[in-house]
Chains A and B, each alone.
Chain A
Amino acid sequence: MNRYSAFGLLRGALNGQKHWQPAWRDPEPKAHYDIIIIGGGGHGLATAYYLAKVHGLRNIAVLEKGWIGGGNTGRNTTIVRSNYRLKPLHDLFEFGLKLWHNLSDELNYNVMFSPRGAMFLGHSDADMVKLAERGDAMRCDGIDADLMTRDEVAKLEPLLDMSRNARFPIEGGLIQRRGGTARHDAVAWGYARGADSFGVDIIQKCEVNGFIRDGDAVVGVETTRGRIGAGRVGICVAGHSGHVAGLAGLKLPIESQTLQAMVTEGVKPMINSVIMSQSLHCYISQSDKGGIVFGGDPDNWPSYAQRGHPMVMEGAIAQGLALVPALSRLRMVRTWSGVTDMSFDGSPIIGETPVRNLYLNGGWCYGGFKATPASGWTYAHTLATGSPHALNAPFSLERFMTGATIDETGTGPMPNSR
């Protein structure tokens, strides 16, 4: 791999920057791979990277039906944090957060990770109790969390409506200062370049539309670019988990729903952290280009349309404007949406399936971007060794049958929450 550096840029300046090479190859699929990963989003590419880097495997392919990073990786609001209430979740996400802090160096690719602080607002005494409880749970496991007073919140985000008659009065907050945002595309591209340098084949415009079976085992995949044999196959297709697992005859505890986001015109810095809320479902941050990035609830019915409904966006915008009234002066320039795989407890599934040699990484709902490094790391371990890493063991598919579900919101088991 041609390493990127300031010195390389300077040297390139002397000959018109003609030294630039494609960051990864565009290979033809081989007849057989030891491991095939379906889906070239951040998770699939990170998995391939760690399979090569940590486990020393080389004969690996990532099959992507469109272009890498064109799914939810390239559509998300890029919030990175590990402030979850329940232990299996904050352990997994914290492992990821530690990897985030070093990711640009690790990949020799600037993922623009910006730990500007991820703050949850509390709007009532009950909210503050919930936030304190969450912060305590995190601190018991050595994860940073600071409860904030009203004044501290106002100081960090002066544009919040702190008046007592605000639509959503603010009582305080909980901040994880090591959380923040990152550059979504760069994450996919950085992992792709890293994986490619180890010899991983990244094959785009290659849709998997069937599995090749030998008795109870999967031994390969049917694709739009022909049949490809495989020792093990890992599904990693985000919102399309249900569809792809269905090709192997599996029914998952997942329903696909649309999640939308939007961005305003670029303005000077006005939002300093990532603003979220314990009671509302609206999150606000400012991109490095200056646009205010906004997201809310998923459209609460099943859809693969990759096209959202304005009434849902309207709900998120109403909440955002109530929190930061100054936003009402901005023009929205783009909205978009992605197909997310909503699991019934809100937590991901990373592990084996009832079909031999077939593995699943999915169910990330609206929160998988932050997990990209941890998801890749643990899925690589699972695919390389055939058994889960300690961090993803709780996130098995069987948990729905055994009742050991992991409630993502930390408010009690509510299988009906999706």
Chain B
Amino acid sequence: MMLINCPHCGPRAQSEFIYERTVDSVPPAGVSNDKAMQTLFTRGNPRGVDEEIWRHTFGCRAWMVVTRHRVTNGISHVRAVGPEALP
């Protein structure tokens, strides 16, 4: 099990979190249909580092972006998203 450092709650067991999707698969507002489809339905799926959106579902329930290596499971960075992350 991984230990994910929630920006709000500190290090917590992975079983409290749910993986949602990758950052690169969220279509920006206002893009064309084709581009939106492309973004929604394809993934870089790298055998290396990717930015993933996880949710602390059984904790503070906030979304966060986890930068993780897909082979070693090493997490190099976690940052908050949503209004609470705004300056």
Contact = CB atoms under 8 A, between A and B. Distances in A.
A302 B19 contact: yes
A338 to B, nearest CB: 14
Size class of the contact patch on chain B: 20 to 34
A23 B40 CA distance: 46
Nearest to A302: B70
Contact of A252 (B18, B42, B71): B42
B70 to A, nearest CB: 5
A170 to B, nearest CB: 29
B50 A302 contact: yes
Given A302-B19, A302-B50, A256 B72 contact: no
Nearest to A241: B45
A201 interface: no
B1 A243 contact: no
Contacts of B50: 302
Contacts of B41: 253, 344, 400-401, 415
Interface string A192-218: 000000000000000000000000000
A251 B38 CA distance: 9
A396 to B, nearest CB: 13
A126 B18 CA distance: 28
A100 B40 CA distance: 37
A222 B61 CA distance: 46
Interface of A, helix, strand, loop or mixed by DSSP = mixed
Nearest to A242: B45
A20 B43 CA distance: 47
B32 to A, nearest CB: 13
A108 interface: no
B19 A243 contact: no
B46 interface: yes
Interface stretch (A134-142, A305-313, A318-326): A305-313
A254 interface: yes
Given A302-B52, A303-B70, A254 B45 contact: yes
A183 interface: no
A256 B19 CA distance: 13
Contacts of A310: 1
Contacts of B2: 309
B14 interface: yes
A301 interface: yes
A246 B37 CA distance: 18
A300 interface: yes
Contacts of B37: 400-401
Interface string B34-72: 000110111111110010101000000000000000111
Nearest to A301: B19
A90 interface: no
Contacts of B22: 255, 302
A328 to B, nearest CB: 22
A304 interface: yes
Contact of B45 (A255, A300, A301, A400): A255
A151 to B, nearest CB: 39
Given A240-B47, A246-B46, A256 B14 contact: no
Given A302-B70, A311-B15, A256 B1 contact: no
B43 A252 contact: yes
B8 to A, nearest CB: 20
B40 A304 contact: no
A52 B15 CA distance: 49
A239 to B, nearest CB: 9
B1 A309 contact: yes
B42 A251 contact: yes
Most buried by B among A300, A302, A400: A302
B44 to A, nearest CB: 6
B33 to A, nearest CB: 10
A381 to B, nearest CB: 26
A251 B43 contact: yes
A79 to B, nearest CB: 26
Given A302-B19, A305-B73, A415 B43 contact: no
Interface of B: 1-2, 14-15, 18-19, 22, 37-38, 40-47, 50, 52, 54, 70-73
- 10 nearest A-B residue pairs (beta carbon): A242-B45, A301-B19, A251-B42, A243-B47, A400-B41, A253-B41, A304-B47, A304-B70, A304-B71, A255-B43
Interface of A: 240, 242-243, 246, 251-256, 300-305, 309-311, 344, 400-401, 415
13 contacts: A240-B47, A243-B47, A252-B42, A256-B47, A300-B19, A301-B52, A302-B22, A302-B50, A303-B71, A303-B73, A309-B14, A401-B37, A401-B41
